[in-house]
Structure 1
Amino acid sequence: MDTMPKYQKIGNILIVKRNLNVEEIDYLLTKTNCKTIVKYSTHITGSLRIPKIKIIYGKETETVHKEHGCMFKIDVSKLMWSMGNLKERERISTISSDTETVVDMFSGIGYFTIPLAKYSNPKLLYALELNPDSYNYLLENIKLNNLKNVIPILGNNQKFPLKNVADRILMGYVLTTHKFLDKAFEILKNEGGFIHYHETVPEGIIEVRPIERLKYHAEKNGYVLADYKINKIKTYSPGIFHVVIDAHFLELKKEK
């Protein structure tokens, strides 16, 4: 075979984007030693981020994926995994420190939680997750990686009861992330801190819309955007980029 079909390898499971013929399946089985081949049939959508799949070969959809020295147990029939975020997961893993309290508002199975907790060793990391399946794997992944500084919480992050506790907040979600900014500022410490804000945005307004949204919600909640860096992660769809803004906020001093 001249060319191998494109795939993503998650543990010992292959994810492909099209149907394969018998020759292609045999070729992938020989070259990758996988146990299952799965086709993702649509974009992953919805607040629970559940993929729609078709099993092309094999039966088992649960695997343990190793990345950047971390282990992630996942069922690819129930939960998403984005290889396009690999560099961002590695980058974010060393961005904190052992003096910080971190809140991951969209933890999933621990995509960002696990590497950050392992390599930055923050004092405390609250991992919030809405999807019960993701939460259960988050619990397993905390144990797999022997982490003692992560507090997993199942439920809507809008109901997270603690206020002004976070030095740093992770917002690893796209499409409607800006709708959660007011809650993020409620969680951020009074004196300010960092928010890593993900957004999908047309290429022509990458430098404008995310920053305007951050400034608006910051001032609304008594903060000022002191500094920021825009990181391009990947192309989300034609003309649309997935970006992460590393934003530093300070308390907005009011005139007496």
Structure 2
Amino acid sequence: MLRAVQQWSTQTGPSLSTEDEHLLVKQLNHSYVIYGTLLLFPVSLLESQTWKVVNQQGDNPLQELLTSVAKHLKVTHIAVTKPIPPQLHGDDSEDNVVRSPSNFMPLYGDFGPETCGFPPTQVDFGKAYWVTAKQNGIFQTWAPRWTMFSRGNISEKARILALPAVASAVAEGVEDGRGCTAMDLYAGIGYFVFSYLKAGVSKVLCWDLNPWSIEGLRRGAATNKWKTVTHAEHLAVDHMIDHHARLLIFNESNEHAVDRLALLRRQLPPVRHVNCGLLPTSRGSWTTAFAVLDPTAGGWVHVHENFELSEIADRAEGVRKEFQRMYDMTDHAEHAEVVLKHVNRVKTYAPGVFHVVLDIYIPPYATATCR
């Protein structure tokens, strides 16, 4: 970064004092991240005084600086990463349920058209800029203009990959010959989906509303050499059964998950893990998560929530009690405890607020004949 700024300052940039040059380097170096051919700066860069000085010189000096940065850091695209807005248009008119990065800010490189059809077509997908990055030995792909990518999820992805509860479900599936299934009710581009697959889970069923996320999910799976099959509305759901496909994809609301699984359950390995990864709360998927777990084997629900630090223990117990209530309402349930196995603090979401994941174990509540 220092060489990039020095070259720009010497050859084409505005005259900067040594102090301002070092300050600019420090600000450019602060928290930038590179994924493949993409470099992302934090939004705080735009508020820095030195950046404002450069920006006031006009488009040419700024673009020359970015060209120098791209050359020296060996990237083709540069952008500013901003938080995902809760509403699509900056007001309360439409919630951003697909987690679209609608305030994405490209700085350098061609990120593709700013608009597309809805739903997007293969032509739209082909015109977009796609990034592929490797984390935990797993490739993930996304279109930055259209899909969020959370760098803070890397620790949770690694945790799922090595989670003993996942390993035990895989081992049990190998032992009885049935394998095991996981479900991700907010799959995105495959953050946790791919961790389950790499950990040895036989099949993963996933739901997401954003067609751009689904396309990234498919592309990422292909790069990892995992075969996928995607639900098509004009075909009966049994077309999803492909013994070679490990990833079954539904581009729709997870409200349909229970009905879809009802048609497929006898042809799939038991569902042992369910991921509920929506923030600020995944509450809307808890009933579905409980309903799709295999009743004869039991399993785990991984609930993602935002909790204030002082409330984590109490609110985590509240979630456990809600699953206990659902368990106690089952027809064949004998008394058994739903167990909060672990509370994992993933990252801070806002001052005093943590993104946490609750690992909740649901015991079996039916005999094998009920499956």
Are the equivalent residues in 2 in contact too, given 1:108–1:131 (CA < 8 A)? Answer: yes
Q: How does 1:194-213 map to 2 (within 5 A)?
A: 194-213=300-319
Cα offsets for 1:15-55 (capped at 9, x unmatched): 22233543863664255222111113443432201112111
Cα offsets for 1:206-246 (capped at 9, x unmatched): 11113212322331343742242111111100010001111
Bigger drift between 85-94 and 163-172 goes to 163-172
- Are residues 210 and 31 of structure 1, via their aligned partners in 2, closer, same or farther at CA, if it must alter by over 3 Å? farther
1:215 aligned onto 2:215: no
Partners of 1:24 and 1:115 in 2: how far apart? Answer: 38
- Are residues 67 and 219 of structure 1, via their aligned partners in 2, closer, same or farther at CA, if it must alter by over 3 Å? same
Q: 1:35 aligns with which of 72, 76, 84?
A: 76
What corresponds to 2:277 in structure 1? Answer: 172
SS in 2 for 1:103: strand
Cα offsets for 1:49-93 (capped at 9, x unmatched): 111211111113421111111111211111111111111111112
SS in 1 for 2:288: helix
RMSD of aligned Cα (Å): 2.2
What corresponds to 1:68 in structure 2? Answer: 136
Q: How does 1:107-118 map to 2 (within 5 A)?
A: 107-118=187-198
SS in 2 for 1:179: helix
Partners of 1:42 and 1:173 in 2: how far apart? Answer: 15
> Greater RCO between the two (CA within 8 Å, min separation 6)?
1
Partners of 2:306 and 2:215 in 1: how far apart? Answer: 28
Bigger drift between 150-159 and 25-34 goes to 25-34
Q: Name whichever structure is richer in strand by fraction.
A: 1
- Are residues 79 and 210 of structure 1, via their aligned partners in 2, closer, same or farther at CA, if it must alter by over 3 Å? same
SS in 1 for 2:338: strand
1:12 aligned onto 2:37: yes
Partners of 1:243 and 1:27 in 2: how far apart? Answer: 40
SS in 2 for 1:81: coil
What corresponds to 1:106 in structure 2? Answer: 186
- Are residues 151 and 94 of structure 1, via their aligned partners in 2, closer, same or farther at CA, if it must alter by over 3 Å? farther
Deviation of 1:205 (Å):
0.5
Bigger drift between 79-88 and 224-233 goes to 224-233
Q: Name whichever structure is richer in helix by fraction.
A: 2
Are the equivalent residues in 2 in contact too, given 1:5–1:24 (CA < 8 A)? Answer: no
Partners of 1:55 and 1:146 in 2: how far apart? Answer: 31
> What amino acid maps onto 1:235 in structure 2?
T
Bigger drift between 223-232 and 25-34 goes to 25-34
What corresponds to 2:7 in structure 1? Answer: none
Partners of 2:65 and 2:160 in 1: how far apart? Answer: 36
Are the equivalent residues in 2 in contact too, given 1:199–1:210 (CA < 8 A)? Answer: no
Partners of 1:28 and 1:210 in 2: how far apart? Answer: 45
Q: 1:184 aligns with which of 286, 289, 294?
A: 289
Are the equivalent residues in 1 in contact too, given 2:136–2:158 (CA < 8 A)? Answer: yes
Are the equivalent residues in 1 in contact too, given 2:320–2:340 (CA < 8 A)? Answer: no
> What amino acid maps onto 1:175 in structure 2?
P
Are the equivalent residues in 2 in contact too, given 1:218–1:224 (CA < 8 A)? Answer: yes
Bigger drift between 211-220 and 227-236 goes to 211-220
Cα offsets for 1:160-182 (capped at 9, x unmatched): 12158521111122113012101
Deviation of 1:196 (Å):
1.0
When normalised by structure 1's length, the TM-score is 0.89
> What amino acid maps onto 1:108 in structure 2?
G
> What amino acid maps onto 1:85 in structure 2?
N
SS in 2 for 1:167: strand
Percent identical across equivalent pairs? 23
Deviation of 1:252 (Å):
6.1
Partners of 2:313 and 2:66 in 1: how far apart? Answer: 43
Are the equivalent residues in 2 in contact too, given 1:41–1:53 (CA < 8 A)? Answer: yes
Partners of 1:87 and 1:63 in 2: how far apart? Answer: 20
Deviation of 1:151 (Å):
1.3
Partners of 1:121 and 1:103 in 2: how far apart? Answer: 14
